[in-house]
Structure 1
């Protein structure tokens, strides 16, 4: 019985993992939407095989609702623009070799003017297909109708079956990046307390540089998560989620840049001091401890950023604050030891000071007050940009609040009491 239960649990976990895979979700949703669009188009389109509808649904349906809406609008705009261009050419010149060239040129130019992005070639394709038939009007109407059907079906699939929120996958990517940063800090700390050869220090520098590629992958996952939060009925406070994740990734990106500079400094120090150790034994041991504590703080920061439950966020925040306090105390101890060492031997004092400066930068980026300030700045920026784009909406909200009867009823007793 236990074996059956274990097999069942493993199968359920495997299915749950497949459901979170973007490729699986995209494949199933696209196939279903395209098939449904074809069935609907058979009842409304005069064409015997209305393949434009499933093609549009296939192109429109995206992993996120926001991407589906924007893609659908651009797709419909591109087809309508191409049909309009084709109708104009058919009325003026008809189809010849030179008019076809002008048609393609005009269609591509119109596609850029109407800003249909990746669907610019679709403007020319629609124009050529419409211009190449004898009954331009019927074909134009059929193509527009099928495109609208495909776009509506694709959008309806995402509205009736809201796509998953990809915050979990983005959070896992952010935490995985933080763990890689921590592992590199641990290795650098272990080698800083000894006599690493220049080749080994240079290898750590290359590892730090490779973190840039990891940042690109995490950024792609985060962009998908941000899109999944927009217009998604499952999500409340989507803007706050997006800002928290984005500012968290920005902080980790800065930390990776500082880590790369730290690795460069230690590589230069290894070249200067070879075959001597990088630091005195007491300094090396404390520096190893400091980098280990900074690595722990980086992971705790990532956990704090990706925690969506208040209890988990509070515990992660408390853990991060404790680790930052410990790391700051160790940093002060290392600073004092380095100062004493520089007084005895001033060689490479610039590199020793640079190591301490780079650790300070990482601690400053992970600081709780710095994070809160960044969050407020980003929220204010988003609010300001929204007001600049839609000032009429802001004025309308103010008027509605001014004439809100509930608000006036709540404020009336206070006014009478004051009188």
Structure 2
């Protein structure tokens, strides 16, 4: 497996491509974003991920990693493109996987390995095989219900399970689920990941691997929903939820997570809906957790507006509100599905106050917040009447928030 082609050079695809290249493989990374391609080919990165840029630069300088708008022939193809949902029923959008399938199919040769990494609903790997087979009737493809049958192409589903901010370390050390469409596909996919993965490679089939990824994120979502619901109840009862959780967690079998402004990112905020969409009558707890976490930003907005109304009653016609943090979690630049972004958008659209936005990990605001003002933390602390902490960035934890201003702390940094 000396030649590898990775589709999608985002928060998962680029570190994965770099890791293969760092361990000796020849890697072509494919992306539709010209800026991303150009940046990577300069030995730089277009995302924030500690330790990654040095690895990318070395791999590019050594000729082991190259980014391109077009795929090339390889021994193994990895697909790490987005899988959002669409519509009010949260239907999975597999159009990116379908587009890659059509681009990849002409390159396939007997013995090639195709691995889907994108978080997907159960059955997505089989659907991808259908799309590939439609384009290449001259090749035989594996069938899920025939795990012992030989095929020309080996196909597996192998989800990532890394933490943003620690991707470089966890890609190597974390155990990996290898879900082949057939037993031989599983074996071939293991050969690919053994190039750099030091964790255990856990063998299963593609459907179980798909469901395992969704289960991991749904489990986290349910746990976070409990903490978020607890924070709302505690606020109503005039109880400090952070103290409450700390005390409860002294029980030897209790480990309550920390509440926040909601749940964001492309995984936990999205993946449980794939389960609900396919199992609407059965996924009751998973649906409830999603609804609780999706509603938390509105609750935070209400808390901020309550402080705004207090200042208006004191004669300040349009108070200045600083929103600290826009990323979906601390110390990264990833704004995907971020509850903080939704809070900012709601506040800007309402025009009930003057809004200052602080996000130390980005240089410009996303398009949906185009009418907002991005300022430094110092400017925000100086000018704002109300300070709302939406993300627990290290920069925010290292300063003393002014005691003479209204504070809404959604993440418990005080």
TM-score grouping bracket, smaller chain normalisation: under 0.3
Higher strand share: 2
Task: Give the structure with the higher percent helix.
Answer: 1
Larger Rg: 1
Higher relative contact order (CA 8 A, sep 6+): 1
After TM superposition, the score normalised by the length of structure 1 is 0.24
